[in-house]
Amino acid sequence: MAKENQSVSWEAEEYIEYNRNIWWYVCLFAVGIGLCILSFFFQWWSFIALVIVCIIAILVVSVRPPRKIKYSLTKTGLTEGDRVHKYEDFRAFGILKEGSHFSAVLIPKKRFALQVKVYFPSGKGEGIVDALGARLPMEEVKLDLLDKIVNFLRI
């Protein structure tokens, strides 16, 4: 059986879960309160509402544990739970290492389309790279500015 016809399956968390201590939450509330006070001073009422909604959203995301998702690479594309990403929508892929976590990043053909990033256990890495490499060219990928900010803020 050729490598192109083999499928690779694995299960991984949807994102990296960070350990946050009490000071992370104190800083989050301090920044939120500071922005609300500044907005009140300048009478930016809609910005106050935006800050409050953002703080609530960050809290909800930060306390929710990541889901375990089943992934598989087949001859047609990447299956992520019930969603299928076809290879023809991507121009290349790359592998990222964030601390002790590995992820495959699919780079879209369309300019404003989002990258697809999926985490995988290190033991499955060779099979995943082989399966993706049989269908897409490999490129070097780096964390962009937004990813670096998200990692720094542990969101």
The pLDDT tens digits of the residues spanning 72-91 come to 999 889 999 899 999 999 99
Q: Provide the residue ranges of all domains of the chain, joining segments of one domain with +.
A: 3-15+67-153, 22-63
Residue 155: the pLDDT is: 80
CATH architecture, range 3-15+67-153? Roll (2.30)
Residue 2: the pLDDT is: 45
Measure the CA dihedral 52/55/61/62, to 10°: -150
Contact 39, 47 (CB under 8 A): yes
Residue 4: the pLDDT is: 53
Contact 52, 36 (CB under 8 A): yes
Instruction: For residue 66, give the nearest of 101, 10, 17, 99 by alpha carbon.
Output: 17
Give CA separation, 67 vs 12, 13, 34, 50, 59, in Å.
Answer: 8, 6, 33, 27, 17
Residue 5: the pLDDT is: 58
Instruction: For residue 78, give the nearest of 12, 144, 20, 148 by alpha carbon.
Output: 12
What predicted TM-score, i.e. pTM, was given to this entire model? 0.78
Task: Write out residues in the chain with pLDDT < 70, as ranges.
Answer: 1-6
